[in-house]
Amino acid sequence: MGRYNFIFLFLITLLAFNVKASRGRISALQSIHLSDPELIYYFPSKQIEIPNYLIFQTGATESTYYNERPYAAFKSDFLSDNSDFYSVGFTMGRSSDLIDGIRDKVNRFYLTQYEQTANPVDFNYTFKSLGNTYSVGFFYADKNEKVNLVGNHAATLNFGLRIDDFTFSTNAGLYNSVVDPTTLDRLSIYQSFVGRLLYELDDIDILLDISSSQIKLFSSGVETSHLELLNYKMGLVKNEINGQDKFFYRLDLVTEQGRERTLNLDTRTISLPLTVGIESMLNDLFTIRGSVKQIIGVYKSSEFDPGENTTTAAVGVGLNIHKINIDGTFKGLIGSSANQQVNSNQLMTETSLTYWF
Amino acid sequence: MKKLLTLALVLASANAFASRAGNTALGNSVHIADAYSPEVIAASSEYFSIETGKTAVTQAAGQNALNAEGHLVKSVGPGFLSLGIGHLDSTIFATRSVAAAGVTTMKPQQNPLEISYGMKMDNMNVGAGLIYSNYETKEGTLKDKESSMGLKLGVSTDLFYGRLKVIFADNYKDSTTAGSEVEYKGKTAFVVSGGMNFGSTSVHAQISQTGGKITSAGTDVANGDKTEISLKAVETIKNDGNDFFYGAGLTTSSSKETVGDTKETTLNLPLIIGLEASATSWLKLRASVTQDVLLSNTKKDDATTPANNVETNPGLNTTHFAAGAGIAYNKIVIDATLANDTTTDTSKQKINLDNLLGTVGVSYKF
């Protein structure tokens, strides 16, 4: 049980720290708070603040890891007759943070191979009225193999609201289940929920994030595992704008709690990650981004106090040509196993193309 | 062997943007300022630098050039505050690398922090800094812990600089197997360095005293001390934005280990030649060659196992080439080495698309 405890805690912490909730630009900055199309998946009401775009994100179609698949996203505003306006956003192929992120955690902890969602679509409708912004949307993915009854079903409802400097969002999982085609074991994730709050005070952003999930594994119809996850995160970001350059430092307080009822295991990790990042325009053509992230001060759980080294650096580049952005990260300069090299074998990764209307 | 105190002194330059790649390409010449020294921070400007690399490196020689780290210097009050995250202190890393032979699970500093503050006082730059790291795993296949703490002081004027570093805590313990704990305790380490400027000639001296003790199940298995002295001089010739430099030095070390009754002494006369040239307004090219000349002596006496005795006078080839480039545009500087790591692999003498830039770091000047 001690071994499971350690592995469980290690993986929960590892995943929380390495959540690739975004690509390219966000990966280079290791922070989701700047205005970016990726921010819409966390605060859907922000959709109306971002110019219209069409994004093509590279990835591996059959990647088994969270948020490494390709996707395309489109967003457009419409001005209504009474001067309020609304916008519509549509994404196909992008993993859901609430659905696929949890499945990824389950796979890493239980050493299973449950698939990510298949052919997902995400729709978001945002409208502005009387100074406030509202959004509603859904995520849906479905796959069904009828011979062996191997299903992969998921859906969420997403809501967002912006009032003055406060932005709220919530994603509620409607259903999330998948059957392993090899073992025919079933994973069901229910009561999954994430709520977020963003308060923008001049050059300071305050973020709150609460998420929870109930996870059950079944084999031949019999429950074999039951896992409960509950995470809190509070972040404080200080932004400095220097011409067209953006510099920020961000401090988060992250608490991750897990209860594995079958193994009778309770784990809790508290950490204080610090992120410092910069985005600078070299010229009209190139933008360089980079960041360093490390847990400082507090990094404790029942298994360690403090934990192992967490310093990660990331560098990326953006190519800006007229209305097109090509963003990516330098493959050799990002992540926990970066080899510090830039060459033809270690060039760009997580590359995306964005066209701004 | 008697300790030598012959004088050849080297002065560190005022280059406060000494990135890892830049330093490597210039042969880690002592005339290049250490960006983490408090008095250098006092005379610097606001910047943020990122050194790319791995999250987890092993405790082996050279690995402290492969880790990810960041360095932020911001103006606070009358001076500058420096925050270094992920930076592995060279003195602690070197001492632990020696001890790693006896502690196979030894780890480098985990989540290290360096906080320094420097400011100008009249004609002088003064600064102080703290080094800190702490880690402990209580469960799992490896139960271990490490900690370190140190203090840095620095002062400089246009003519001279002086630094003091004291590492008063440097510990690692592997307690995976109860009753068979292996523990390393570093002795209080001192590094005193200073230098003076004589026009285009700079001189530098450094004396360091380090050591450590290893116990296994409460029994001493190693107890070592090491004293290192280096004296170097560098001549710098500036011409149209290009810097050519050459220098010579004398370095000696003396170490002893009392449990195994071994002693080791070294005496080296390193030469360095280097160049930093401005190819264009946005491109700097760097190259250097270092080598021991005439003196490259090592003597190791192992009273317990005489078969391990070593004496080379002079020793093996030490010629080392390094090259790099720095791209500076607007407020961004990207430094990298070229033809990375030419120590042993002859195929790495190439610069092509497969072997282009290494040890890449990015700096932003506010």
pTM across the whole model: 0.88
Question: Is A281:B327 a contact under the CB 8 Å cutoff?
Answer: no
pLDDT surpassing 80 at residue A84: no
Name every residue whose Cβ is closer than 8 Å to that of residue B224 and which is 6 or more positions away in sequence.
Answer: B98, B99, B211, B212, B213, B255, B256, B257, B258
Name every residue whose Cβ is closer than 8 Å to that of residue B310 and which is 6 or more positions away in sequence.
Answer: B298, B299, B300
Model pLDDT, residue B348: 62
Beta pairing partners, B321:
B289
Predicted-assembly ipTM surpassing the 0.90 threshold: no
d(CA B37, CA B41): 6
Facing residue for A342 by CB, picked from B55, B66, B336: B336
CB contact under 8 A, B141 and A3: yes
Give the B window 58-97 contacts with A, CB below 8 Å.
66-70, 72, 83, 85-86
Question: Is A108:A96 a contact under the CB 8 Å cutoff?
Answer: no
pLDDT surpassing 50 at residue A2: no
List chain A residues with CB under 8 Å of B339. none
Give how far Cα A300 sits from Cα of A41, A105, A250, A256, B103, Å. 30, 20, 20, 11, 25
What string of DSSP letters covers A120-133?
-EEEEEEEEETTEE
Question: Is A45:A162 a contact under the CB 8 Å cutoff?
Answer: yes
Model pLDDT, residue A36: 87
Buried b (16+ CB within 10 A) or exposed e, A224-234: ebebbbebebe
Q: Which of these, B131, B124, B165, B163, lies nearest to B148 by C-alpha position?
A: B131
What string of DSSP letters covers B282-314?
SEEEEEEEEEEEEEEEEEEEESS-GGG-EEESS
d(CA A338, CA A314): 9
List the pLDDT tens digit at each of the 366 positions of chain B: 444 333 333 333 334 357 998 999 999 999 998 999 999 999 999 999 999 999 999 999 888 889 999 999 999 999 999 999 999 999 999 999 999 999 999 999 999 999 999 999 999 999 999 999 999 999 888 999 999 999 999 999 999 999 999 999 999 999 999 889 999 999 999 999 999 999 999 999 999 999 999 999 999 999 999 999 999 999 999 988 899 999 999 999 999 999 989 999 999 999 999 999 999 999 999 999 999 998 889 999 988 888 888 888 888 888 988 899 999 988 999 999 886 555 555 656 667 777 778 889 999 999
For residue B155, give the 3-state DSSP assignment: strand
The shortest C-alpha distance from B69 to chain A (Å) reads 7
Facing residue for A343 by CB, picked from B113, B140, B354: B354
Q: Pairing relation of β-strands B219-239 and B69-76?
A: unpaired
Question: Is A127:A134 a contact under the CB 8 Å cutoff?
Answer: yes
CB contact under 8 A, A311 and B55: yes
**Would you state the structure tokens that stand for residue B136, as one six-digit string?**
């402990």
Over residues A56-81, mean pLDDT: 86
The shortest C-alpha distance from B356 to chain A (Å) reads 5
CA torsion B85-B90-B93-B94 (nearest 10°) is: 170
Model pLDDT, residue B4: 38
Model pLDDT, residue B35: 93
Give the B window 135-194 contacts with A, CB below 8 Å.
135-141
For residue A106, give the 3-state DSSP assignment: helix
Q: Is B355 on the interface with A (CB under 8 A)?
A: yes
Model pLDDT, residue B62: 86
Instruction: State which H helix or E strand residue A17 sits in.
Output: helix A2-17
Model pLDDT, residue A20: 26
**Range of lowest pLDDT (A174-188, A206-220, A339-353, B186-200):** A339-353
d(CA A112, CA A105): 10
d(CA B79, CA B39): 11
Over residues A35-61, mean pLDDT: 92
d(CA A4, CA B333): 46
Instruction: State which H helix or E strand residue B253 sits in.
Output: strand B242-257
d(CA A262, CA B10): 66
